């Protein structure tokens, strides 16, 4: 079994840390920050040119981090700007380095030209993952295939047409998705309603938690990230606060949300928002909550 699969069905909520690779070729500064990761963090989840901003290959940086830290790796793989053969090649490379999990997504379509270009979607990518795993099983045995590329997707609980979002998620499940990472969530009531829908599809829910570092970042999330516009009232709380006040309030709210949701979810993805140190601090605190959940057990319900 993949270590990612084991974490998501253990009944003990997984704590993953989401990061973006460096913008240039120098990996050591970010790797040094990751040296401080506490033991309770189950995996590093690396973004793939999020918001259309070019970064170092997540596969290259992920391999360096995995070899240095010995921590499981979950790679976001975007089908944007790649053809099917390029995706298959990247997936084979990830499997060769025993990358435990992969998140299939289309990726942000940035700029007017993007709307005119044909794109593979997450279902195409999930099918490619399945094909690669079958190929590995035939050549290297089922055990090797099961250890790598556990397939997941992303989902948006704030989508105005929730029925359409759930239909999309159901199609992703049919194509092979086994877990879903949400957009950042901010309140327990909304989160729990969405989690019930996700679990009904047989998918392990991983809740996105973002570390807001200052009022400017909150304003950007509120006005510049379309998917988060329905959460604007949560982000407006930080207006006029100092950086220290924002960080402490966001930290407190995030810990309360994690505490409320932990009996109901497979885990949490702590999103760094460009500041790994804050995310590492939050992930360390969240990991302290990470004692076994009594049996109402997620593993039984998924």
What's the rounded Cα separation, in Å, for the pair 128 and 118? 17
Q: Is the pLDDT of residue 168 over 70?
A: yes
What's the rounded Cα separation, in Å, for the pair 275 and 279? 7
Tell me the pLDDT tens digit for each residue of 226-276.
888 889 999 999 999 999 999 999 999 999 999 999 999 999 999 987 778
Mean pLDDT for the stretch of residues 127-137: 96
Greater pLDDT, 297 or 215: 215
CB 270 within 8 A of CB 279: yes
Mean pLDDT for the stretch of residues 36-54: 84
pTM for the model: 0.90
What's the rounded Cα separation, in Å, for the pair 28 and 149? 26
Cα→Cα distances 39→16, 20, 69, 283, Å: 11, 21, 10, 10
Place of tokens 């996105």: 208
| Secondary structure class of 267 (helix, strand, coil) | strand
pLDDT band at 297 (very low <50, low <70, confident <90, very high): very low
What's the rounded Cα separation, in Å, for the pair 195 and 197? 5
Tell me the pLDDT tens digit for each residue of 50-94.
766 788 999 999 999 999 999 999 999 988 778 899 899 999 999
Q: Which of 133, 157, 270, 268 lies closest to 212, judged by CA?
A: 270
Domains and CATH numbers, the chain: 3-301 (3.20.20.220)
Mean pLDDT for the stretch of residues 123-134: 95
Query: β-strand 267-271 against 204-210: which pairing, if any?
Result: parallel
């Amino acid at each position: 079994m993949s270590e990612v699969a084991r974490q998501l069905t253990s009944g003990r909520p997984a704590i993953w840390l989401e990061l973006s690779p460096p913008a240039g070729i120098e990996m050591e500064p970010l790797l040094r920050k990751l040296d401080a990761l506490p033991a309770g963090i189950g995996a590093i989840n690396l973004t793939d040119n999020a918001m259309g901003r070019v970064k170092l290959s997540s596969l290259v940086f992920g391999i360096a981090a995995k070899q240095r830290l010995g921590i499981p790796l979950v790679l976001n793989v975007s089908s944007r700007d790649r053809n099917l053969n390029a995706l298959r090649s990247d997936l084979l490379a990830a499997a060769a380095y025993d990358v435990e999990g992969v998140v299939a997504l289309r990726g942000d379509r940035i700029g007017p030209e993007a709307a005119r270009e044909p794109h593979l979607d997450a279902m195409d990518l999930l099918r490619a993952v399945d094909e690669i795993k079958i190929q590995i099983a035939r050549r290297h045995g089922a055990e090797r295939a099961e250890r790598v590329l556990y397939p997941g997707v992303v989902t948006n609980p704030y989508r105005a047409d929730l029925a359409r979002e759930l239909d999309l998620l159901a199609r992703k499940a049919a194509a092979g998705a086994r877990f879903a990472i949400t957009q950042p969530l901010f309140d327990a009531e909304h989160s729990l309603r969405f989690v019930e829908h996700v679990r009904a599809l047989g998918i392990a829910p991983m809740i996105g938690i973002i570390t807001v570092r200052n009022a400017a970042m909150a304003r950007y999330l509120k006005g510049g990230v379309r998917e988060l516009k329905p959460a604007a009232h949560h982000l407006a709380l930080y207006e006029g606060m100092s950086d220290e006040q924002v960080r402490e309030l966001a930290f407190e709210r995030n810990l309360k949300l994690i505490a409320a949701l932990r009996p109901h979810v497979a885990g949490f993805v702590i999103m760094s928002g460009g500041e790994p140190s804050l995310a590492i601090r939050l992930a360390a605190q969240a990991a302290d909550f990470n004692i076994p959940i009594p049996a109402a057990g997620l593993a039984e319900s998924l």
